[in-house]
Amino acid sequence: MIDRAEGWRRRAPLLPALVFTIIVTQIPFILTLFYSLQSWNLVRPGSQEFVWFANYVDVFTDSQFRQVAINTVVMTLGSVLIAVVLGLLLALLLNRQFVGRGVVRTLLITPFLITPVAAALLWRTVLLDPTLGLVNFVLSPFGASGTEWISQFPLASVMAALVWQWTPFMMLLLLAGLQSQPSDQLEAARVDGASAWSVFRELTLPHLRRFIELGVVLGTIYLVNTFDTVYMMTQGGPGVASANLPFYIYQRAFLGFDIGQSAAMGVVVVIITLIAASFALRLLFRSFSGEEELT
Amino acid sequence: MAEVVFDEASRIYTPGAKPAVDRLSLTVADGDLVVLVGPSGSGKSTALRMLAGLEPIDAGSVRINGRDVVDVQPKDRDIAMVFQNYALYPSKTVAENMAFPLKMRGMEKEERGRRVRQAAEMLGLTEYLDRKPKALSGGQRQRVAMGRAIVREPQVFLMDEPLSNLDAKMRVQTRAQIAEMQNRLAVSTVYVTHDQVEAMTMGDKVAVLADGKLQQYATPPELYDRPANAFVAGFIGSPAMNLLELPRSSSGVTLGGIEIPLTREVTDAAGSRDKLTVGIRPEDWVLESTDADAASVVKAVVDVVEELGSESYLYAHLAEDTATTIVVRGPGRVKVRFGDPIAVRPTAEALHVFDVESGERLD
């Protein structure tokens, strides 16, 4: 039996870490809550006053906020799902034996290792630049030269960069899943008369289900916070066509200096994220509780 | 119903290396259960996988019902296989697992259901049809794997150590079930095991393999009574046959100071060899009184006594030559203990004599 004093003596060394965590996460959050109830614009000194929930009402009536929220969902889920599909195809490829597999695998992983800012810059200039970009160069024989990818398709351009960066992650995850599939089940299916497509649909896909769920949840958690790619490629523009919530809040806080409004948006986003994340994590824990593991 | 023929079939993993299966030739008669038995690395599983189409046949051929299947895909060979770890599909229920091979052949849903129910009844799985494999015990999983093979009504059953993951009691029980079912269905079956008891009890014929080579292909009594070489002699039977390298004497061999006469055929076949490998099964020793005539009995000292109830096995070393150990079967209740002297006499007519170098049987 450990008495209270002994308990505290043992916990004490952990206390600084706890205090530090509270200072850097909870205090800013409480301050944000406080600011979100105020009308406060930095460029108008003396404008600070309590307005209670007026900022929240504005958030839900702001048509730009709605547009940005939709952008965020499209950008996050779209990029994640496309990355999962591409990652799955590449994982299936890498799960086979072929000459040069090691080199191909390394090359395929590379996009994941590049700093997001550098990757965004690469996409904006080297790939998508209307006159000098590789994409237009490659497409020029088909009459697509001069396309202003970033201004004509801003959201799609940002998503292309995100998909490019996240496909390797999904690929690695799904490759691990593929390699954990027992080979005797595949052999049994061959003897049982299953075609390659049947084996994939009836056995491999169910086996990969939890790996796909893990990929989707992890990818969503990271990509919903995307800022650097948007900032570097489009600045959220034109208008808010390619802005997502983190970028829009940044814009309102540090370019519009509207502290109260952006704080309210931040609070709304945190609440939505908490709800979504708890559902996603429950799904994840359920599928990794070993429901389908044999032996 | 089919006849399966291995004709000089070989599997060579790396060119130039020793083949995993070396020119295997044997015929499985229609409706027979043939057991491939051997120690690990003997090529028995590889041979089965060649028949299944999961391993290529690098030389020779394999025929099912007269059709050469070397270039035939597993699914087109009309075989069903039971795997060592059962290889059930974890995301499917028992019923879906059993129906899978039928579904893959495009069978009508109703006919599938009918066949699955029939097989489930036969295997006592009816109440588990809606469960996932995870919720089944080892024995039940094994039966599902059997069921998945049965519903196909294939030409040939292939079984790769299907009992090795069961506990001892379950194994004996399932062994009898499989043998009974195979008799009833009369489907040619190739059964791989490393357990010689399974081989002896289940096989219509048994093929003993070692180092990728077929050692002997015969019925169980024949294997036991006339092993073709020293390897088979030592592998079949439990406890193993005593294999002793003995010097020749004028009319036989000498063991522990006594002379053991050999039959005329053996002495003729032995020619001028001055040593022979002589095999004596544990039950082919006669326990004599310790004060018997020293010229007719071998004296030994007991190391271990295994009492099994109905019989006992005495592990002993020879009094004259302590490096030579023998196993002797005794009655259920023996008085001897560790360190006691015993006197034994081999039954002359039951001896197996092999060449020392090649291990081949001499008569």
Q: Which residues numbered 144-163 in B keep a CB inside 8 Å of some CB on A?
A: 148, 152, 158
pLDDT tens-digit readout, B36-64: 999 988 999 999 999 999 999 999 999 99
Q: What is the pLDDT of residue B101?
A: 92
Answer whether B88 sits within 8 Å of A294, measured CB to CB. yes
Q: Which residue has the higher pLDDT, A292 or A200?
A: A200
CATH 2.40.50.140 fits domain B242-354: yes
Give chain A's length.
295
Name the percent of chain B lying above pLDDT 70: 100
Q: CB distance from B134 to chain A under 8 Å? A: yes
Q: CB distance from B53 to chain A under 8 Å? A: yes
Work out the minimum CA distance from A282 to partner chain B, whole angstroms.
20
Answer whether B83 sits within 8 Å of A207, measured CB to CB. no
pLDDT tens-digit readout, B193-229: 999 889 999 999 999 999 999 999 999 999 999 999 9
Q: CB distance from A184 to chain B under 8 Å? A: yes
Tokens 């495009």 correspond to B106
Interface test with A, best of B75, B76, B89, B151 (most A CBs within 10 A): B89
* Residue in chain B lying closest to A294 (CA): B134
Answer whether A292 sits within 8 Å of B90, measured CB to CB. yes
- How does the average pLDDT of chain B come out, rounded? 90
* Residue in chain B lying closest to A194 (CA): B104
Q: Which residues, listed in sequence order, are joined to residue B208 by a DSSP beta bridge?
A: B37, B216
Cross-chain CB nearest to A206 (options B80, B88, B91):
B91
User: Mean pLDDT across the stretch A245-262?
Assistant: 87
Q: What is the pLDDT of residue A295?
A: 41
Q: What is the pLDDT of residue A83?
A: 96
Answer whether A193 sits within 8 Å of B91, measured CB to CB. no
Lowest mean pLDDT among A31-45, B17-31, B58-72, B144-158: A31-45
User: Mean pLDDT across the stretch B308-318?
Assistant: 92
d(CA A98, CA A106): 14
Tokens 């095999």 correspond to B279
- Whether A35 is in a domain gets the answer no
**How is chain B split into domains, by residue range?**
4-231, 242-354
DSSP, collapsed to helix, strand or coil, labels residue B341 as: strand
Answer whether A193 sits within 8 Å of B75, measured CB to CB. yes
Contact (CB, 8 A) for A47 and A41: yes
d(CA B50, CA B22): 12
Q: What is the pLDDT of residue A118?
A: 92
User: Mean pLDDT across the stretch B95-107?
Assistant: 91
Cross-chain CB nearest to A292 (options B74, B91, B104):
B91
Residue-by-residue DSSP string for B210-261 = ETTEEEEEE-HHHHHHS-SBHHHHHHSSSSPPEEEEEEB-SSEEEETTEEEE
Pairing type for strands B188-193 and B33-37 reads parallel
pLDDT of residue A103 exceeding 60: yes
Q: CB distance from A195 to chain B under 8 Å? A: yes
The residues near A116 (Cβ < 8 Å, ≥ 6 apart) are A165, A228, A229
The residues near A224 (Cβ < 8 Å, ≥ 6 apart) are A72, A76, A244, A245, A273
Looking from the CA of B71 toward its CB, the CA atoms found within 13 Å total 0
Helix/strand/coil percentages in chain A, nearest 5: 75, 0, 25
User: Mean pLDDT across the stretch B140-167?
Assistant: 90
Chain A CB contacts of B152 below 8 Å: 192
Cross-chain CB nearest to B83 (options A188, A195, A206):
A188
pLDDT tens-digit readout, A156-177: 999 999 999 999 999 999 999 9
Contact (CB, 8 A) for B338 and B304: yes
Give the domain range for residue A283.
63-287
- Whether A258 is in a domain gets the answer yes
Answer whether B52 sits within 8 Å of A191, measured CB to CB. yes
Work out the minimum CA distance from A41 to partner chain B, whole angstroms.
58
The CATH class of the B4-231 domain is alpha beta
Give Rg (Cα) of chain A. Answer: 24
- Whether A276 is in a domain gets the answer yes
| ipTM summary value | 0.81
d(CA B209, CA B47): 10
Q: How far apart are the first and last CA of chain B?
A: 37
Q: What is the pLDDT of residue A113?
A: 92
Name the percent of chain B lying above pLDDT 90: 50
Q: What is the pLDDT of residue B279?
A: 93
Q: In what order do the strands lie in the sheet with B311-318?
A: B285-288, B341-346, B298-307, B311-318, B325-331
Work out the minimum CA distance from A204 to partner chain B, whole angstroms.
10
d(CA A287, CA A209): 8
Q: What is the pLDDT of residue B1?
A: 62
Q: How many CB pairs under 8 A join A and B?
A: 78
Q: State the total domains in chain A.
A: 1
Contact (CB, 8 A) for B305 and B317: no
Q: What is the pLDDT of residue A290?
A: 54
Chain B CB contacts of A198 below 8 Å: 104
Cross-chain CB nearest to A191 (options B75, B133, B134):
B75
User: Mean pLDDT across the stretch A107-136?
Assistant: 89
Could you tell me the CATH number of the domain that includes residue A237?
1.10.3720.10
Q: Which amino acid is at B147?
A: G
- How does the average pLDDT of chain A come out, rounded? 87
* Residue in chain B lying closest to A291 (CA): B134
- Whether A198 is in a domain gets the answer yes
Interface test with B, best of A185, A192, A198, A292 (most B CBs within 10 A): A192
